[in-house]
Amino acid sequence: MSVIFSICSTLPFMNIVRSWREQKIMLKWRYPFLTDQDFDFEEGKREKMVSALAKKLKKTRSELEALFAELQLY
C-alpha cells in the first residue's frame, strides 16, 4: 500500500514525518513475527487493524500509540 498516512495522525501534537510504509517496515523489523497481512486494512476499517495489531503485540491502545510516536523519532 503506497498510502502516506499514520496511525498517529489522530494525535494533534505529533509531527508526522514517516510514511505508513516506513512505519510498517520499522515495526516488522522490530517485531519479526508481524506479516504484511497484519497491516492490511480496508478504507474506513483502520481501527480494526489497529486493534488487531495491539492484540498481536500484546499492547494497549496507549502503548501502541506511544510505539508509533517513537517511530517518528528515528
The pLDDT score that the predictor gives to residue 40 is 83
Residue 33 has pLDDT above 60, yes or no: yes
For the question of whether the overall pTM of this predicted structure is more than 0.75, the answer is no
The pLDDT score that the predictor gives to residue 46 is 81
For the stretch 33-68, what's the b/e string if a residue is b when 16 or more beta carbons lie within 10 angstroms of its beta carbon? ebeeebbebeeeeeeeebeebbeebeeeeeebbebb
